C-alpha cells in the first residue's frame, strides 16, 4: 500500500496537491542578463513537476535585494516573461508552482549592487566570507530610511503581482535564513527607533504589512511564508526572539495562509529556546498547514507525516540529483546521491 505522503493533499479550497512532497527553494544562480531565468530553467522545473508543489528558487523583488551571482528577479517585464515560460511548462505537466519572494538585506556586497552598500534594518554588518567568491568579506551596510522600508513593502507586493501575471499558482514570502525580513524580526539586527523597530510589535510590522497587503489583494490561500525560528544562518538568536515568533505565528493565523514553511538546512537541529527543532515549534504555534524542510530522507519524511509533525515535506538536494524523486521513492528504488558538482548545471 502506498504511504500517505504519495496521496493527494487538499491545501485549501483553491489548491489540491497531487502528493505531500514539495520541491524546496534551491538557489541555482543561472539567471541571464537582466536577471531573467534562463532557458534551461524551463526543463529543470518541468522535470520536477511530479512533486505536489514546486517552490521556486529565491527570486529578488527589488534591485537592492541581490546578494548572490545571477539570481533571478521578479521586478521587470522581461523577468515576468521568463517566468511565464516556466509556469506554462510546469502546468502542462500538471504541476503546481509558487514563486518565493526574496530580498537579502545585509547579506550582500557592493559587487552585486553596482558599487552601492547593502541595505538593512540597522547598520549592523554581517561578518564572514561572501559565498561563491574567493576571499571577499561582508562589509558595511546602510540603514534603510523609513520611506525606503515602505518602498520595499511595495516591492514585495509588486513581486506578488508580477508572479501571478507570470502564471504562478501562489507566492511564498521568504522571511527566513537571516535575509531582510528575518533581519527585521531579530533584536540583534533590528535596532531601529521608528515604527519598524524598538519593540516586539515594531519588529513584526514589516512582515505583517507585506502579508496583509498581499493577502488583501490575492487572498491568503495563494500565499505561504518561510520562517526560521531557530537562528542558524546569517543571524544570531537573542533571548526573547522566540516570543517574537510565537506572536508572529499567532498573527499569521488570521490571514488564512496556504502554509508556513520551515527554513533550515537540517531539521534535526534542536534549539533550547524553541524546546525542540524548528518544525515542531511551528507546528505547536501555528494551526494551519506546516511544511517541514531540512535534510529529510524518504524515511524521515514519511515519519514526520505519520506522527503529524508536519503536513508536507520539502525536499532539496535529492531533487537536484533525482528529478524523478517521487517516482523513485514511491517504488522504493535507490536514489542518486547528491554531489556539489551537480550545482554546475541545470538538469
For the chain, which domains are there?
4-344 (3.20.20.70)
The CA-atom distances, in angstroms, between 208 and each of 56, 129, 199, 282, 307 are 22, 31, 14, 17, 31
- So what's the pLDDT on residue 132? 83
- So what's the pLDDT on residue 2? 78
Task: Give the up-direction half-sphere exposure of residue 328: CA atoms within 13 A in the CB hemisphere.
Answer: 16
- So what's the pLDDT on residue 31? 97
Catalytic member of 44, 45, 138, 179: 179
Q: What cell does 273 get?
A: 529556546
In terms of Cβ atoms closer than 10 Å to its own Cβ (0-12, 13-18, 19+), residue 272 is exposed
Rounded to two decimals, what is the model's pTM? Answer: 0.98
In the three-class reduction of DSSP (H, G, I as helix; E, B as strand; rest coil), residue 199 is classed as: coil
How far is Cα 253 from Cα 250, in angstroms, rounded to an integer? 5
Q: Catalytic residue at 179? A: yes
How does pLDDT run across 290-317, given as a tens digit for each residue? 999 999 999 999 999 999 999 999 999 9
**CB-CB contact of 314 with 55 (8 Å):** yes
Q: What cell does 326 get?
A: 517521487
How does pLDDT run across 84-126, given as a tens digit for each residue? 999 999 999 999 999 999 999 999 999 999 999 999 999 999 9
How far is Cα 190 from Cα 203, in angstroms, rounded to an integer? 7
Which among 124, 135, 126, 134 is positioned nearest to 108, based on CA atoms? 126
Amino acid at each position: 500500500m502506498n504511504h500517505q505522503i504519495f496521496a493527494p493533499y487538499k491545501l485549501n479550497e483553491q489548491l489540491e496537491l497531487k502528493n505531500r512532497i514539495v520541491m524546496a527553494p534551491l538557489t541555482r544562480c543561472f539567471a541571464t542578463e537582466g536577471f531573467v531565468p534562463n532557458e534551461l530553467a524551463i526543463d529543470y522545473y518541468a522535470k520536477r513537476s511530479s512533486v505536489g508543489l514546486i517552490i521556486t528558487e529565491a527570486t529578488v523583488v527589488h534591485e537592492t535585494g541581490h546578494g548572490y551571482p545571477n539570481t533571478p528577479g521578479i521586478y521587470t517585464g522581461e523577468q515576468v516573461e521568463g517566468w511565464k515560460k516556466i509556469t506554462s511548462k510546469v502546468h502542462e505537466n500538471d504541476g503546481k508552482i509558487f514563486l518565493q519572494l526574496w530580498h537579502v538585506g545585509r547579506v550582500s556586497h557592493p559587487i552585486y549592487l553596482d558599487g552601492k552598500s547593502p541595505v538593512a534594518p540597522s547598520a549592523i554588518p554581517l561578518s564572514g566570507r561572501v559565498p561563491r567568491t574567493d576571499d571577499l568579506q561582508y562589509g558595511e551596510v546602510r540603514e534603510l530610511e523609513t520611506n525606503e522600508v515602505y518602498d520595499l513593502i511595495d516591492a514585495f507586493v509588486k513581486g506578488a503581482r508580477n508572479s501571478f501575471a507570470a502564471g504562478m499558482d501562489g507566492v511564498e514570502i521568504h522571511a527566513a535564513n537571516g535575509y531582510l525580513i528575518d533581519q527585521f524580526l531579530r533584536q540583534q539586527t533590528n535596532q531601529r527607533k521608528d515604527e519598524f523597530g524598538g519593540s516586539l510589535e515594531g519588529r513584526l510590522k514589516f512582515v505583517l504589512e507585506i502579508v496583509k497587503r498581499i493577502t488583501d489583494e490575492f487572498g491568503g490561500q495563494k500565499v505561504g511564508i518561510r520562517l526560521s525560528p531557530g537562528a542558524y544562518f546569517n543571524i544570531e538568536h537573542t533571548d526573547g526572539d522566540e516570543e517574537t515568533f510565537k506572536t508572529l505565528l499567532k498573527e499569521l493565523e488570521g490571514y488564512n495562509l496556504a502554509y508556513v514553511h520551515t527554513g533550515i538546512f537540517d531539521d534535526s537541529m534542536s534549539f533550547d529556546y524553541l524546546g525542540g527543532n524548528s518544525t515542531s515549534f511551528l507546528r505547536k504555534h501555528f494551526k494551519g498547514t506546516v511544511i517541514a524542510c531540512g535534510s529529510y530522507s524518504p524515511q524521515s519524511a514519511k515519519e514526520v507525516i505519520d506522527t503529524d509533525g508536519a503536513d508536507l515535506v520539502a525536499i532539496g538536494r535529492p531533487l537536484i540529483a533525482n528529478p524523478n524523486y517521487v517516482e523513485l521513492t514511491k517504488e522504493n528504488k535507490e536514489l542518486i546521491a547528491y554531489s556539489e558538482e551537480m550545482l554546475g548545471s541545470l538538469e
